[in-house]
């Protein structure tokens, strides 16, 4: 077999051959790196180093809205992963996709209530993988059989969930191999969660194919009804916006590949799409009433960070992050959203005349390594057209928390009792492909894992020595963003040479800062489960790890890799008995069931998560 060249390796070669000056200025400066990414786009030509979608007219399809599935504390809901077909654009054919339940793409929006458990009976009826030829069987845990029988696992992103129901990437369900129960306690604040697939090393392929959906956690204040105490838009004026980026082939099929440089079936490092997809349609349009709307927005892409704004630069209000409402609305004209981040926003269309239009836009250029290949920013996502209706003419609330008929205010950021340093890097190995994305200079299976203690508040310093931004997600917990500080990365690495991968590496960066810490933007000051960690910076978050009593379950419980079984634990801590759940062996392709424990934390650039920017961690007593 000839040597394989992966996308990251090519980028470095291309930088040396064709754009060494630009790349050197981006990577090796090692100083503040505090300036925003350039917003000047290269010429609009069809670069031979990237694939291009066929022409598609903008704003010809109506924005679809996913169906709603209301959770009941007494009746389980059914979630079924299926192979489907979806028409992404009016002028393109319906093409193979994956979806949950009866959707043609993505899944229904699940609505649950704080304090009322949601029970999901999950099963897979998937056929051959939509991207069978693109799966890289050299990655950790991937088997050739996955092309015909793709495994899946449902993860409630943002949920404070028992470890056996959290969507552990090794707890896989195979198609037509039984029902896996998931129990979500919902013992947390109302917020904007989502659910998506989390199967080991094929997460990007499964989510890109369509396995994702919204999950709104309501309470007695944020009820989702027009008479809610907070005075927020509801019903037809509360709309989920699931933003993605894609590349399509000439036949209209989705392309998981972005460049001919990387052979089919070999891992890529992530890519910018050239077609914006919102709720499963390319560049859709929505006729809106001339009043107030609540958009539950998510960056559900695999790679890009976006600077989102409206084409007329009108103001809007951010009212919440992943973990719930802010103390008060934050007025802004733009927000930066990285993969997996959610923003709850209010938009007032009352100033538009009937027939007037406004577009949701982005002007953030891709990282330099992607730009070298010819990738450019997606400039438009969707269009809003003002209709004749007056709509919801309520004023934007002045406060959201504190006082009668409102949730408690978000407290000040807590003082940590421990500092934990973790690193983000791109080391190389003596293997094909040689590049690997890594946390702490480790692989997923390496035994050196983080073990924070229950009830302890920690500061995590996320040391990103790469030139690219990485959205970091911790399962189980919500946290607060303390701030970001520029790092002299070259000096830091010269003083602390990085060892071969497999040895934990996250040296103290204190002597190598290039400037003061900058606090979070006002619109990201709430409870978060995903944080944008810019390249060449140390990003600090404050996270408290809850106790078993607070959670109502043991976060350090041992559980089976077979999702159709429940294991109980003896007083000595070993798993000693199993209870089957009405089905066959969910993880048959991976051999006999094994013991698992704890949660994971990872980069939410899904290619990075798949290889190998994901580590286990435990919350120990």
Quote the CA–CA distance of 138 and 453 in Å, as a whole number: 35
C-alpha angle with apex 568: 564 to 571, nearest 5 degrees? Answer: 165
E strand or H helix at 576 = strand 575-580
pLDDT of 578? 56
Is residue 391 within 8 A of residue 292, CB to CB? The reply is: yes
pLDDT of 4? 41
Per CATH, the number for 1-56+222-410 is: 2.60.40.420
Tokens of 74: 């007494």
Nearest to 340 by CA among 314, 310, 306, 385: 306
What are the mean pLDDT values of the chain's consecutive 10-residue runs (621 residues total)?
A: 43 37 28 38 70 97 98 96 98 98 98 98 98 96 97 98 98 96 98 98 98 98 97 98 98 96 91 96 98 98 97 98 98 98 98 98 91 91 97 96 96 98 88 79 97 98 97 98 98 97 97 98 98 98 98 97 72 50 46 90 98 97 98
* Domain edges within the chain: 1-56+222-410, 418-549+600-617
For 263-312, the pLDDT digits (tens) are 999 999 888 999 999 999 999 999 999 999 999 999 999 999 999 999 99
Q: Which residue has the tokens 């103390």?
A: 327
Q: How distant, in Å, are the alpha carbons of 73, 344, 375, 379, 387 from that of 41?
A: 51, 29, 9, 10, 34
Q: List b or e across 450-480, with b for residues whose CB sees 16 or more CB atoms inside 10 angstroms.
A: bebebeebbbbbbbbbbbbbbbbbbbbbbbb
How many other CB atoms are found less than 10 A from the CB of residue 202?
Answer: 30
Give the class (CATH, top level) of 418-549+600-617. mainly beta
pLDDT of 3? 38
Strands 306-310 and 335-337: antiparallel
pLDDT of 430? 64
C-alpha angle with apex 418: 598 to 497, nearest 5 degrees? Answer: 85
pLDDT of 287? 98
The reply to whether 418-549+600-617 shares the fold of 1-56+222-410 is yes
Nearest to 126 by CA among 150, 106, 145: 150
Considering only the C-alpha atoms of the chain, give the largest distance between any 2 of them, rounded to a whole number of Å. Answer: 70
């Amino acid at each position: 077999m000839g040597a394989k060249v992966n996308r990251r390796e090519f980028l470095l070669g291309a930088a040396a051959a064709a754009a060494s000056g630009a790349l050197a200025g981006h990577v090796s400066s090692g100083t503040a790196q505090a300036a925003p990414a350039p917003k000047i786009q290269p010429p609009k030509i069809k670069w031979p180093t990237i694939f291009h979608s066929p022409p598609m007219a903008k704003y010809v399809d109506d924005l679809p809205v996913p169906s709603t599935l209301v959770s009941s504390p007494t009746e389980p809901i059914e979630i079924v992963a299926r192979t489907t077909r979806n028409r992404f654009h009016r002028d393109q054919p319906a093409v193979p996709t994956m979806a949950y339940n009866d959707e043609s793409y993505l899944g229904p929006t699940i609505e649950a209530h704080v304090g009322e458990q949601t029970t999901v009976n999950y099963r897979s009826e998937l056929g051959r993988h939509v991207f069978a030829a693109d799966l890289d069987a050299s990655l950790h845990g991937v088997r050739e059989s996955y092309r015909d029988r793709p495994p899946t696992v449902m993860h409630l992103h943002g949920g404070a969930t028992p470890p056996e129901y959290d969507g552990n990437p090794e707890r896989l369900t195979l198609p037509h191999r039984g029902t896996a129960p998931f129990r979500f306690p919902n013992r947390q604040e109302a917020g904007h969660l989502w659910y998506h697939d989390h199967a080991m090393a094929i997460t990007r392929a499964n989510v890109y194919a369509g396995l994702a959906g919204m999950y709104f956690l309501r309470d007695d204040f944020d009820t989702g009804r027009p008479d809610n105490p907070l005075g927020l838009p509801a019903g037809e004026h509360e709309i989920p916006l699931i933003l993605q980026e894609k590349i399509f082939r000439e036949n209209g099929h989705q392309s998981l590949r972005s460049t001919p440089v990387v052979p089919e079936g070999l891992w890529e490092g992530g890519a910018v799409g050239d077609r914006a997809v919102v709720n499963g349609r390319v560049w859709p349009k929505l006729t809106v009433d001339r009043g107030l709307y609540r958009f539950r927005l998510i960056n559900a892409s695999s790679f890009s960070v976006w600077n989102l704004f409206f084409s007329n630069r009108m103001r809007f209000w951010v009212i919440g992050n992943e973990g719930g409402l802010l103390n008060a609305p934050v007025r802004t004209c733009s927000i930066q959203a990285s993969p997996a981040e959610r923003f709850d926003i209010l938009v007032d269309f009352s100033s538009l005349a009937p027939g007037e239009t406004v577009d949701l836009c982005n002007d953030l250029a891709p990282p330099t390594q992607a730009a070298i290949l010819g990738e450019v920013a997606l400039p438009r996502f969707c269009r809003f057209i003002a209709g004749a209706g007056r709509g919801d003419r309520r004023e934007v609330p002045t406060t959201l928390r504190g006082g009668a008929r409102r949730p408690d205010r978000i407290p000040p950021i807590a003082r940590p009792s421990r500092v934990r340093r973790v690193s983000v890097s791109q080391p190389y190995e003596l293997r094909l492909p040689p590049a690997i994305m890594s946390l702490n200079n480790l692989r997923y299976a390496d035994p050196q894992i983080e073990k924070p203690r229950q009830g302890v508040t920690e500061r995590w310093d996320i040391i990103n020595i790469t030139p690219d931004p990485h959205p970091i997600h911790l399962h189980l917990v919500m946290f607060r963003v303390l701030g970001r500080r520029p790092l002299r990365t070259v000096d830091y690495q010269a003083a602390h040479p990085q060892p071969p991968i497999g040895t934990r590496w996250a040296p103290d960066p204190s002597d190598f800062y290039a400037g003061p810490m900058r606090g979070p933007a006002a619109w990201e000051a709430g409870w978060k489960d995903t944080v944008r960690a810019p390249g060449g910076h140390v990003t600090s978050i404050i996270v408290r790890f809850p106790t078993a009593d607070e959670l109502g379950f043991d976060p350090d419980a041992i559980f089976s890799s077979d999702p159709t079984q429940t294991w109980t634990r003896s007083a000595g801590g070993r798993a000693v008995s199993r209870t089957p759940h009405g089905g066959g062996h969910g993880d048959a392709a991976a051999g006999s069931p094994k013991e698992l424990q704890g949660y994971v934390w990872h980069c939410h650039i899904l290619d990075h998560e798949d290889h190998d920017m994901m580590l286990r961690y435990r919350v120990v007593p």
